Amino acid sequence: MKYFPESALMQLEFDKVQALLQEHCKTELGKEMAAALRLHTHIDYVKTALQQAHEYKQLTLLQENFPNDFILNLKRELRLLSIEGAVLTGEQAMLLRKLAESMHSIVRFFDHDRRTQYAALYEVIKETHYEKKITATIDEVLDETGQVRDNASPELARIRISLYRKRTELRRVFDRILQKLQKLNYLADQEEAFLNGRRVVAIYAENKRMVKGIIHGESDTRKTSFLEPEETIELNNDIQSLEREEGREVYRILKAMTASLSGFSFLLNGYHEILGTFDFIRGKAKLALDMDANFPMLVPHSQLNLIQAYHPLLLLYNRKNQKPTIPVSINLDKDAHILVISGPNAGGKTVTLKTIGLIQLMLQSGLLVPVHPSSQIGIFKQLMIHIGDTQSLEFELSTYSSHLKNMKYFMENANGRTLFFIDELGSGSDPNLGGAFAEVIMEELAKKHAYGVVTTHYLNLKVMANKVKGIVNGAMGFDEQTLMPMYKLMVGKPGSSYTFSIAERIGLHPSLIARAKKLVDEGHFQLDKLLNKAEQDLQKVEHKEKELQKLLKENERLKKEYEILADKERKQQQYTLLKLQNQIKEDDLQYLKDMERKLKQIVIEWKRADDKEKVMKQAEILLFRRREKQHTEHLNKKIQDKFEEIKGQIEVGMQVKIVTNRQVGKVLEIRDKRAIVKIGNIPINVKLSDLVLVQEKPAEKVEEGK
């Protein structure tokens, strides 16, 4: 995307957005991509970039863990792979292994469903693959700590076994020497030490001639000497020789491993770039979450339909200071492609202009923007901006000369794919002459079908917006009662500068205001007064419309609540009616459900079991258990009607009821804790604890019970 002047991006504070994006990136590559953010004019590229940020934002909101936590910068390690004869250390190789494992996690993340759900994110890895030989090559040589394995080669295994044996032998010899010297009271320190890679003992300096060996040094006070005993000299020499052999073999193994990994250099570089790209996309998603940014609808032609658009930086600043931010809505299309915004100073005209410009820059750089998702935004190929005092000391240009120079560039280069912003068009010159030039500039830009936003105080520009095709008026809201700006854009009518209203409110003497009014052209004054009144009337209408909408919403809510309650009542009545008609008790319904479940289980058992008769018996028990239960309940009721329980000690000859089966009989005999009870003609042995004394109810009670 072309932009004019060179400072356009800085004037719209795009660099500050880039800085915020860099803060959200963790990898060096991600930060570099944020710093090198470019404006694109191909809609497909912009759409893909926005879709990727949108999908990652959705991932975050759904709390799905995307495995891109790898943040190391491995450019140096990857560069070594491309140099013939270079050798990676074990630590460096483990970092490359972690890189490959991170790529493996990402590849596994994109299963069949996620490839469809997050199609734009999947495009990042679509052309690559995970190569397991990379980790296998490293694992053959290194353990999990990055040390070369003993079995990395037969030679290394032999060397390390020899080293282990020599060190063990040296340790035994040293232990004997330490014990001997301890008894002689020669030791200055009980612990052994290493000096110049040799194992030594610390002895008192006055005893150093008493022990055979090589002195390797003394303490700072010269009271202690560090001596290598004669018995260990040969062992230390052998160990040092083996250690050198080990170092050479480890170097050879690492060099061979590096050569094997260099075959995957291109793939590993691709992994590194992919992880940096995902980090960059994550940064864009996090920035979007901070700004409440969304993915608007992209259109292939020039259009700017912003709904509830916020200035990104102002939104963050106000949120930090717990202040509200007023959104702006604007629609520029082929029929109305230039908006002229008027209104009082400090009313938000420039902020509105910058909001639109910064959102367009962010969108064409692939960043989600703080607008309503239903907003429609086209792709522009040129962006031109003129904001503030642009006088040039270098070329000895005044403010107005510089202004005209920029306007000349605008008129010569603008076309139907140009988006321009002009703050205070025509300012810096005589109002009448400057206003005339401003009209000419506006007409020329309208003829070129350029899209743009212009702020002004000139009355003639407000008037021409109703005459020239493609130009529409807009005004920033202002509360005349409080003399406070409303920061709200109202499209369709020009705005008053509230010059005399502000003067009256701040207490300027009425005579001075009257004199000023006389100096102003009567038509000009009357028009400004009408604009003032029209704006206040519009605000009242909007206020009443809001109240009406509020009442309508409340009415709609009450209507829905009534419909829900009525529907619930109707369903309850239908349910009650059905319940009365069918006369089905809840326990019967539960019984039928249990019966259905158990019968299904019996069918399954029938198919599995070899003993079909056993399954049939289970079915019979299930089917006839309820009938038996009803029979038992009938017997219980019959006994309760005829007998009543009494208290007392059970003795022979008394009538008792067996609790377990509800049968009544006579006690024939008592044996310890059990009794023989005669039921009909059959004697039964029963626990005394299962018996209850009963007696027959009088005839009157039996009749009453019936």
- Say yes or no: 175 and 126 in one domain: no
Task: Return d(Cα 132, Cα 549) in angstroms, integer.
Answer: 63
- Sheet order of strands, 328-332 included: 297-299, 376-378, 304-309, 328-332
pLDDT at residue 14 above 90?
yes
| pLDDT digit string, tens, across residues 674-694 | 888 888 777 888 888 888 888
Task: Return d(Cα 361, Cα 304) in angstroms, integer.
Answer: 13
CB atoms within 10 A of CB 654: 17
- Say yes or no: 317 and 231 in one domain: no
Q: What integer pLDDT is reported at residue 267 of this predicted model?
A: 95
Q: Return the structure tokens found at 381.
A: 């190929």
pLDDT at residue 592 above 70?
no
Q: What is the CATH number of the domain that holds 684?
A: 2.30.30.30
Mean pLDDT score across all residues of the chain: 81
CA angle 249, 251, 254 (to 5 degrees): 110
Q: Name the pLDDT band for 361 (thresholds 50, 70, 90).
A: very high
Task: Return d(Cα 613, Cα 430) in angstroms, integer.
Answer: 114
- Sheet order of strands, 213-218 included: 193-195, 198-204, 224-229, 213-218
CA angle 164, 166, 168 (to 5 degrees): 65
Q: What integer pLDDT is reported at residue 195 of this predicted model?
A: 72
Task: Return d(Cα 54, Cα 282) in angstroms, integer.
Answer: 10
Determine, yes or no, domain membership for 628. no
| pLDDT digit string, tens, across residues 150-176 | 999 999 999 999 999 998 888 888 878
- Sheet order of strands, 470-479 included: 2-4, 382-386, 418-422, 451-455, 336-342, 470-479, 484-491
| Whether the Cβ atoms of residue 271 and residue 99 lie closer than 8 Å to each other | yes
Q: Name the pLDDT band for 51 (thresholds 50, 70, 90).
A: very high
Helix (H, G, I), strand (E, B) or coil at 520: coil
- Say yes or no: 311 and 372 in one domain: yes
Q: What integer pLDDT is reported at residue 542 of this predicted model?
A: 62
Q: Point out the domain boundary residue: 495, 513, 547.
A: 495
Range of the domain at 681: 646-705
Q: Name the pLDDT band for 224 (thresholds 50, 70, 90).
A: confident
Q: Point out the domain boundary residue: 495, 526, 547.
A: 495
- Say yes or no: 281 and 344 in one domain: no
Alpha helices, DSSP H only, in 263-326? 265-291, 312-320
Mean pLDDT of 207-230: 76
Task: Return d(Cα 328, Cα 462) in angstroms, integer.
Answer: 20
- Say yes or no: 309 and 454 in one domain: yes
Q: What is the CATH number of the domain that holds 225?
A: 1.10.1420.10
Q: Which of 467, 241, 469, 242 is nearest to 338 (CA)?
A: 469
Which residue type is seen at 47?
K
Q: Name the pLDDT band for 390 (thresholds 50, 70, 90).
A: very low
Determine, yes or no, domain membership for 510. no
More confident residue, 310 or 679: 310
Mean pLDDT of 210-217: 76
Angle, in degrees to the nearest 10, between helices 14-24 and 265-291:
120
Task: Return d(Cα 383, Cα 375) in angstroms, integer.
Answer: 20
| pLDDT digit string, tens, across residues 573-588 | 776 666 655 655 555 6
Q: What integer pLDDT is reported at residue 611 of this predicted model?
A: 66
Pairing of strands 2-4, 451-455: unpaired
Task: Return d(Cα 633, Cα 643) in angstroms, integer.
Answer: 15
- Say yes or no: 368 and 451 in one domain: yes
Q: Return the structure tokens found at 365.
A: 């750089």
Determine, yes or no, domain membership for 35. yes
pLDDT at residue 360 above 60?
yes
Task: Return d(Cα 110, Cα 127) in angstroms, integer.
Answer: 13
Q: Name the pLDDT band for 101 (thresholds 50, 70, 90).
A: very high
CA dihedral 149, 150, 156, 161 (to 10 degrees): 160
| Whether the Cβ atoms of residue 415 and residue 382 lie closer than 8 Å to each other | yes
Task: Return d(Cα 639, Cα 642) in angstroms, integer.
Answer: 5
Pairing of strands 674-679, 198-204: unpaired
Determine, yes or no, domain membership for 139. no
Pairing of strands 297-299, 376-378: parallel
- Say yes or no: 408 and 473 in one domain: yes
- Say yes or no: 325 and 463 in one domain: yes
Determine, yes or no, domain membership for 92. yes
Percentage of residues in the chain having pLDDT higher than 70: 75
pLDDT at residue 525 above 70?
no
pLDDT at residue 232 above 70?
yes
Q: What integer pLDDT is reported at residue 405 of this predicted model?
A: 85
Eight-state DSSP code of residue 151: G
| Whether the Cβ atoms of residue 314 and residue 351 lie closer than 8 Å to each other | yes
Number of domains in the chain: 4
- Say yes or no: 370 and 241 in one domain: no
More confident residue, 235 or 388: 235
Determine, yes or no, domain membership for 2. no
- Say yes or no: 368 and 433 in one domain: yes
CB atoms within 10 A of CB 692: 15
Beta strands in 302-450 (DSSP E): 304-309, 328-332, 336-342, 376-378, 382-386, 418-422
Task: Return d(Cα 667, Cα 658) in angstroms, integer.
Answer: 11
- Say yes or no: 235 and 353 in one domain: no
H/E element, 660 = none
- Say yes or no: 351 and 221 in one domain: no
Determine, yes or no, domain membership for 545. no
Q: Name the pLDDT band for 359 (thresholds 50, 70, 90).
A: very high
Determine, yes or no, domain membership for 4. no
Q: Return the structure tokens found at 282.
A: 């994550």
| Whether the Cβ atoms of residue 48 and residue 123 lie closer than 8 Å to each other | yes
Contacts with 312 (C-beta within 8 Å, 6 or more apart), sequence order: 17, 291, 293, 358, 359, 362, 369, 370
Q: What is the CATH number of the domain that holds 440?
A: 3.40.50.300
| Whether the Cβ atoms of residue 353 and residue 453 lie closer than 8 Å to each other | yes
Q: What integer pLDDT is reported at residue 495 of this predicted model?
A: 46
